[in-house]
């Protein structure tokens, strides 16, 4: 009985620690802005914060050399596809111990003829079509965890990916290429200096390459063998390094809303292969742009998303992000994010998640216009500028970092 009581007291103290440190966050951005609520830049937690505490313990183990990798998956729309938010976030995580390993999931956005993060680039000599979960016009049934795919029917084609110079991941020694495993096509690595082992994993939906040396790029030759199954579908690359570090998958699709990824038949199957330790959701802007937005639908969509994530990785922590303030057609301040904001706090308690309140931190209703006036947001009053995204990414990390350090045993 006493042992049980002690466990309850310890759990209470952990949860208390998570909350009482919230008000003492010190912003680390180079310049302060009067409209940003820096004092509100902290994580909120449900009454049961055990999964987030378990995530913090995994970071401790990584820093102590007791584990090789901590995996973070980040879902969003164009905010995440842009890559600057992601770049700032993962650079900070890697800086905990100047980690070089872990890895990145990279979708070849340029092959799919859309904007790409700057920390990697993709290229091809062939013609490809784009399918994505954000619009029915470009939708197909067999989309996966990234919510987007590049498809080709070229008889001869080359494609590849290269890591650009960045502050977090520049080399990898293994690669998983996720495809529809179409036997009508064969792909092989273009001749390279490093020796490698190739292994097919059809049940997991990828082909694994393990290299003797660290490399920064790969190029593939794709050859069409017959016309039985016409399309080769490319879902993305998992670039991994066996050195210790954080693995980050930024799954951003322009125009994606909270129900978009629910349309992807292979969502859970592919996500299970990553086994995420933390899943961050930063969806909502596109929901609140719609006239038919309702709080109940929004909650229902997130209920389903969280259920799918927990099927794929039952013990992973989940961090929700309130939607950013935005305007409708550049002219009308949008009040719908207020309802979405309230929904997120309900979801936090319901699903035992953590929450970062971006809406309040950035200044709340009509604040995106203030960001725009000083060059931190675009003319559409929806998207941030690169500098604005860097600030958002830094503040998200600051909030996570403060909560983590208040509960970390590693100094």
Per-residue pLDDT tens digits for 375-411: 999 999 999 999 999 999 999 999 999 999 999 988 7
Per-residue pLDDT of 90-101, as tens digits, reads 999 999 999 999
CATH superfamily for 14-99+245-411 is SGNH hydrolase (3.40.50.1110)
* CA separation for the pair 105, 107 (Å, rounded): 7
The CATH number of 102-243 is which of 2.40.50, 1.10.10, 2.60.120, 3.30.70? 2.60.120
For the chain, domain boundaries: 14-99+245-411, 102-243
Q: Which residue in the block uniquely carries the two structure tokens 């403060």?
A: 402
CA atoms within 13 A on the CB side of 388: 26
* Cβ 175 vs Cβ 208: under 8 Å: yes
Q: How confident is the model at residue 30, as a pLDDT?
A: 57
* Cβ 182 vs Cβ 229: under 8 Å: yes
Give residue 42's pLDDT band: very low, low, confident or very high (50, 70, 90).
very high
> For residue 377, what is the DSSP state?
B
Q: What percent of the chain has pLDDT over 70?
A: 93
Give residue 197's pLDDT band: very low, low, confident or very high (50, 70, 90).
very high
> For residue 305, what is the DSSP state?
H
Give residue 17's pLDDT band: very low, low, confident or very high (50, 70, 90).
very low
pTM of the complete model: 0.92
- Mean pLDDT, rounded, of the chain: 93
* Cβ 310 vs Cβ 278: under 8 Å: no
């Amino acid at each position: 009985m006493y042992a049980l009581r002690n466990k309850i007291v310890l759990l209470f103290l952990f949860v208390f620690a998570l909350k009482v440190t919230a008000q003492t966050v010190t912003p680390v951005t180079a310049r302060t802005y009067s409209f940003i609520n820096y004092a509100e830049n902290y994580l909120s937690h449900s009454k049961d914060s055990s999964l987030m505490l378990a995530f913090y313990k995994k970071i401790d183990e990584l820093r102590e050399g007791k584990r090789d990798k901590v995996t973070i998956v980040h879902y969003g729309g164009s905010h995440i596809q842009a890559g600057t938010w992601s770049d700032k976030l993962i650079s900070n995580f890697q800086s905990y111990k100047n980690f070089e390993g872990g890895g990145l999931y990279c979708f070849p956005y340029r092959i799919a003829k859309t904007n790409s993060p700057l920390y990697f680039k993709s290229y091809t000599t062939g013609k490809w079509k784009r399918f994505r979960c954000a619009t029915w016009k470009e939708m197909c049934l067999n989309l996966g965890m990234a919510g987007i795919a590049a498809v080709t029917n070229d008889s001869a084609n080359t494609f590849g990916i290269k890591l650009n110079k960045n502050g977090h991941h520049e080399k990898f020694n293994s690669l998983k290429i996720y495809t529809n495993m179409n036997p009508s096509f064969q792909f092989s690595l273009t001749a390279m200096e490093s020796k490698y082992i190739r292994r097919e994993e059809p049940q997991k939906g990828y082909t694994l390459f393990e290299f003797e040396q660290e490399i920064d790029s790969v190029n593939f030759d794709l050859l069409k063998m017959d016309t039985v199954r016409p399309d080769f579908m490319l879902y993305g690359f998992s670039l991994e390094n066996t050195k210790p570090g954080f693995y980050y998958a930024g799954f951003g699709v322009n125009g994606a809303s909270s129900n978009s990824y629910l349309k992807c038949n292979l969502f859970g199957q592919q996500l299970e292969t990553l086994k995420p330790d933390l899943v961050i959701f930063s969806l909502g802007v596109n929901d609140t742009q719609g006239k038919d937005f309702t709080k109940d639908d929004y909650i229902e969509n997130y209920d389903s998303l969280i259920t799918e994530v927990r099927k794929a990785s039952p013990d992973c922590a989940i961090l929700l992000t309130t939607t950013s303030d935005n305007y409708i057609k550049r002219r009308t301040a949008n009040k719908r994010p207020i309802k979405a904001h309230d929904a997120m706090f309900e979801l936090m308690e319901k699903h035992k998640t953590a929450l970062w309140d971006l809406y309040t931190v950035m200044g709340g209703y009509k604040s995106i216009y203030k960001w725009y006036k000083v060059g931190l947001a675009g003319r559409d009053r929806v998207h941030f500028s690169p500098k604005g995204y860097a600030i958002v990414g830094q503040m998200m990390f600051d909030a996570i970092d403060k909560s983590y350090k208040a509960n970390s045993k590693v100094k």
